[in-house]
Each structure stands twice: as structure tokens, then as C-alpha cells.
Amino acid sequence: MNTVLVVEDDEVYRKALARALRREGFEPVEAESVESALTVLRRIVPAYAVIDLALGDGSGIDVVRAITARAPGCRSLLLTAHGTIPSAVEAMRAGAVDFRTKPISTAELVDALRRAEAHAPALPDELDDAERQHIQRILAECDGNVSEAARRLGLHRRTLQRKLEKLASNH
């Protein structure tokens, strides 16, 4: 089954995500808050979840934790307009399989969900990979400008440079 829980407090964006996922063969179920997501989780066990990090009544990470407890096979993807490395790591530790910044294209979202199908629970090496991928994605968005990438990631420029050096030496 391709049921996907879409948790987003922006109604227009949530409905757009649901329409796009429906066109791609998924069965979206919408929730606008942490509380409504928990209510939905009492009724269904989704195969996937697309969750906004910042919800009106709490954090999307709380939804990921609830999904991990209720439906451990569900592959959760967190979306955020302002992602930071600590929040990405916390999301992965809570059970998310991916962490993406908004806006996200339908193709990128569907690709992330399909790749998540074979994803096993996150291990420490995978957390390093998630951090590296997130940093690289933000750095690419900034055309390689380390100062701007550090600002977007909520890090000091030198801290980001050290992380880049460490991640480069590990791969």
C-alpha cells in the first residue's frame, strides 16, 4: 500500500503536496498539526510520511517519534524551510529517513520516497551521510559560498569549514 501521511500546517502547500502525490500513485492522508497527525495514526498505519518540521502546535520531529513507535516500517521524510544540521540529525535519530528543504519539486519528493523504500533504520554512519548530504545540498544552493551556507545552516563559518574538512577526510 502507498499510503502517505502528509503533515503540513500551511493548507495550500499541504493540499498541493497531496495532489502531487496522488498523481504519482500514492494515497495521501492529510493532517495539519501534531495533534491531528497523532489522531490519524490511531486510525491508519502509513507506509510513508511527509512532515513539516515547524508545525503550529509543535515539532514535526514529535510526529516522527510517534510514527516510529506506532508504525516502525513507515518511511518518514521531514521538510523544512529553515533546516539546520542539529535538527536534521535529531530528525534522523527520531527515525526519519530523509530531511529536505522547501520548496521541493514533485519529482524530488517522489524520488526521495521511492529511495526510502529500501532504507533501513538509521545507524551512526548513515547519520554522518545524512549530515554530509544536507551540508552539500545547502552548499550547492549557495553556489559554494561557505559563509552563506553557514548562515543558512545556523553555524559559524569556521564550524562549517571544520565539518567540511572532517566529512571530506571520512569519504
Alpha helices in the chain (DSSP H): 11-23, 34-43, 60-70, 85-94, 106-116, 124-141, 146-153, 157-170
The separation between the first and the last C-alpha atoms of the chain, rounded to the nearest angstrom, is 36
Q: Residue ranges per domain, the chain?
A: 3-119, 123-171
Top CATH class of 123-171 equals: mainly alpha
Instruction: Tell me the mean pLDDT in the region 102-106.
Output: 86
CA dist 139 → 48, 142, 144, 146, 151 (Å): 28, 5, 5, 7, 11
Tens of pLDDT, residues 12-57:
999 999 999 999 999 999 999 999 999 999 999 999 999 999 999 9
Query: Minimum mean pLDDT among 77-81, 128-132, 144-148: which range?
Result: 128-132
Confidence (pLDDT) at 50: 96
Confidence (pLDDT) at 41: 92
Most trustworthy range by pLDDT among 57-71, 105-119, 141-155: 57-71
pLDDT band at 133 (very low <50, low <70, confident <90, very high): confident
CATH number, span 3-119: 3.40.50.2300
Cell numbers 544552493 correspond to what residue? 141
Distance separating alpha carbons of residues 148 and 142, to the nearest angstrom: 6
Assigned C-alpha cell, 163 = 565539518
Is 169 buried (19+), middle (13-18) or exposed (0-12) by CB count in 10 A? exposed
pLDDT band at 1 (very low <50, low <70, confident <90, very high): low
> What global pTM score does this model have?
0.68
